[in-house]
Amino acid sequence: MDEDTLIATVFAPLATDAGADGLGDDAASFAGGAGDIVVTCDALAAGVHFFPDDPPAAIAAKSLRVNLSDLAAKGAEPFAYLLALALPADCRGDWAREFAAGLAADQARYGVTLLGGDTLRASPGGGATITVTAFGRTGGGATVRRRAARPGHRIVVTGTVGDAALGLQARLAAPYAIDASHAEALDRAYLWPDPPVAAWRVVREFASAAMDVSDGLIGDLAKMCRAAGAGAELDLSAVPLSAAVRAAVAADPSAFDRAVTGGDDYQILATMPDGQVAGYVAAIEALGFTATPVGTIRSGEPRVTLLRDGHAAEVLDGRFQHF
């Protein structure tokens, strides 16, 4: 399929906003309006962020969701995205159609629309690279920043932690002892991240600081500490785990380390005064997600102190990335 046909038949139907001009122009436009426009750009490369034989719809969904997750963590309502799609020369038209079907489903799910972008031949020898730029609005409110975390504020994380990381381990043929039903749940978490995108409004209402957990809970909390110039205590016994991850940890305790340091969670890590926690948790639950307090921001050096059952287990400085 040539590029013009690909754009006209596969991608133009996703470009429902007038500002996209049916993908028939060099650039798209949207009204500026009150408040901030929040923008984020995350790219995924075949063989690095996904397996080349993953379902195209799942690759599309992940490409979009990792960006919408960032917007939600900034308290911004997503409304549109741009897509730069670098495809190998041998890419089949079916692949592009299935990829676009994944985008279409997510457009309906999240209320966003394709504004424009680029299709290009991938660098010879390499696989597909998918770059999404996503746009949100704060609607007059402030953008929630990770550096705004304040000592004394509680740390709350949505969803469960570690599912995707253990799902990836299982894919890499180094599985922990995981039964079939749990393996399927973990694989699904890796392939189809489900960030609480709708939580953008709750984050904006309750959170002092927030970021999405994409590079591992502990590593990302350390990044928040660095940005805020503060420390954090993380209560490992409070970290929310799914039934599948709990089963893996029961069979092999080292799976816990993987769960709290591995990437691809796409949950929201937020801080807020203690008095806001109950309201935040209830509002997140009203959206069909969960949220769990897991620690406290402390003054001092940007270090993460790990607590287990109230006792300090380990201290990690701000440059910590993985066990």
Q: Which residues contribute to the site for a copy of itself (CB under 8 A)?
A: 4, 19, 21, 24-49, 70-71, 73-74, 76, 82-84, 86, 115-118, 120-129, 131, 133, 135-138, 143, 145-147, 211-212, 226-227, 319
Closest separation in Å from C-beta 11 to a copy of itself: 13
Nearer to a copy of itself, 99 or 176 (CB): 99
Nearer to a copy of itself, 225 or 236 (CB): 225
Nearer to a copy of itself, 29 or 254 (CB): 29
- Residue found under tokens 């999404």: 132
Q: What is the DSSP letter of 277?
A: H
Q: What is the DSSP letter of 159?
A: S
Which residues are annotated as part of the binding site for ATP? 117-118, 146, 214
Closest separation in Å from C-beta 154 to a copy of itself: 20
Nearer to a copy of itself, 46 or 255 (CB): 46
Closest separation in Å from C-beta 227 to a copy of itself: 5
Phi and psi at residue 231, in whole multiples of 5°? -100, 180
**Which of 199, 207, 187 has the alpha carbon at shortest distance from 297?**
207
CA 40 to chain centre: 11
With 0-12 / 13-18 / 19 or more C-beta atoms within 10 angstroms meaning exposed / middle / buried, residue 310 is exposed
Phi and psi at residue 211, in whole multiples of 5°? -155, 160
Q: Name the helix (H) or strand (E) containing 213.
A: strand 209-213
Closest separation in Å from C-beta 114 to a copy of itself: 11
Nearer to a copy of itself, 38 or 155 (CB): 38
Closest separation in Å from C-beta 180 to a copy of itself: 31
CA distance 9 to 111: 21
Nearer to a copy of itself, 49 or 154 (CB): 49
Number of Cβ atoms within 10 Å of the Cβ of 101:
15
CA distance 323 to 321: 7
Closest separation in Å from C-beta 257 to a copy of itself: 21
Nearer to a copy of itself, 146 or 182 (CB): 146
**Which of 99, 264, 56 has the alpha carbon at shortest distance from 167?**
264
Which residues are annotated as part of the binding site? 26, 40, 42, 49, 70, 117-118, 146, 212, 214-215, 264, 320
With 0-12 / 13-18 / 19 or more C-beta atoms within 10 angstroms meaning exposed / middle / buried, residue 181 is exposed
55: left (phi over 0), alpha (psi -120 to 50) or beta: beta
8 Å CB contact between 251 and 170: no
Closest separation in Å from C-beta 183 to a copy of itself: 26
Which residues are annotated as part of the binding site for substrate? 49, 264, 320
